[in-house]
């Protein structure tokens, strides 16, 4: 579900690996006029991700949000993909023997795959872990297919703009923390060309490329001539 603020009549939609941890903490600050701090419940640490779960767009009660100001945050799909691999596969080891051993055995796949192995067996690995598969769903699964549903769509790279916008609208002075920084970073343009093609093949249907065609620009020169750029026949959405 989105992060809903009834008092402010605002709802924010976002997908996994699109700055959601930081966004949750920021919106908590807006709502409560105090910064979010990790707390304990019966000995279990509760971080900002526990504030609201990312439900699919089609599971949201949209009638209840009909008079809300609705916003979304999206991320460059390629950077989101690499972040997902780095965070879920390398950092949290969701494809380790301990986490997914039985499913890996059934699929005949090695645990803890490097990026090349993960890409070569992408669909099979997603079958091995439901939490992992959820993180690799396209962003339209969480924000829908109609950009006009939202008053405004922000890029993850524009979190400062979002922060200023919300603080002005809500008359607050909340701060946007930058969380989830522990995972290794990948430079797409430093990868072997075959890996680049595989990643683009997986990501190019993501709606973020249609909403913001400039997201596609850095990758356009890398694709084959018969590769259809996402949103090639679309005009700008105005978001």
Torsion (CA) 93, 95, 99, 105 in degrees, nearest 10: -150
- Are the C-beta atoms of 144 and 57 separated by less than 8 Å? yes
Residue of 154, 137, 127, 153 whose CA lies nearest to 55: 137
Q: What is the pLDDT along the chain (239 residues), one digit of tens a residue?
A: 899 999 999 999 999 999 999 999 999 999 999 998 888 889 888 888 888 888 899 999 999 999 999 999 999 999 999 999 999 999 999 999 999 999 999 999 999 999 999 999 999 999 999 999 999 999 999 999 999 999 999 999 989 999 999 999 999 999 998 766 556 789 999 999 999 999 999 999 999 999 999 999 999 988 755 666 676 544 334 34
What was the pLDDT predicted at 182? 55
A 10 A CB-CB count for 220 gives 12
What was the pLDDT predicted at 44? 87
What was the pLDDT predicted at 239? 44
Backbone angles phi, psi at 229, to 5 degrees: -65, 140
- Are the C-beta atoms of 125 and 95 separated by less than 8 Å? yes
């Amino acid at each position: 579900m989105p992060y809903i603020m009834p008092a402010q009549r605002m709802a924010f939609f976002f997908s996994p690996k699109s700055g959601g941890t930081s966004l949750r903490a920021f919106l908590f600050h807006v709502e409560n006029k105090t910064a979010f701090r990790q707390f304990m419940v019966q000995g279990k640490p509760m971080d900002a991700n526990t504030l609201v779960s990312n439900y699919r767009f089609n599971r949201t009660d949209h009638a209840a949000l009909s008079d809300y100001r609705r916003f979304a945050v999206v991320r460059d799909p390629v950077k989101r993909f690499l972040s997902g691999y780095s965070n879920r596969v390398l950092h949290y080891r969701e494809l380790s023997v301990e986490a997914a051993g039985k499913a890996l055995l059934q699929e005949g796949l090695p645990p803890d795959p490097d990026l090349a192995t993960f890409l070569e067996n992408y669909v099979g690995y997603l079958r091995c872990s439901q939490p992992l598969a959820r993180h690799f769903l396209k962003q339209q699964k969480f924000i829908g297919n109609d950009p006009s549903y939202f008053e405004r769509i922000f890029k993850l790279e524009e979190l400062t703009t979002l922060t200023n916008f919300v603080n002005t609208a809500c008359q607050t002075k909340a701060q946007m923390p930058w969380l989830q920084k522990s995972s290794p970073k990948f430079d797409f343009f430093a990868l072997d060309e075959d890996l680049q093609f595989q990643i683009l093949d997986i990501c190019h249907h993501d709606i973020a490329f249609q909403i913001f065609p400039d997201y596609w620009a850095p990758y356009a020169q890398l694709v084959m001539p018969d590769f259809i750029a996402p949103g090639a026949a679309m005009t700008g959405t105005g978001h």
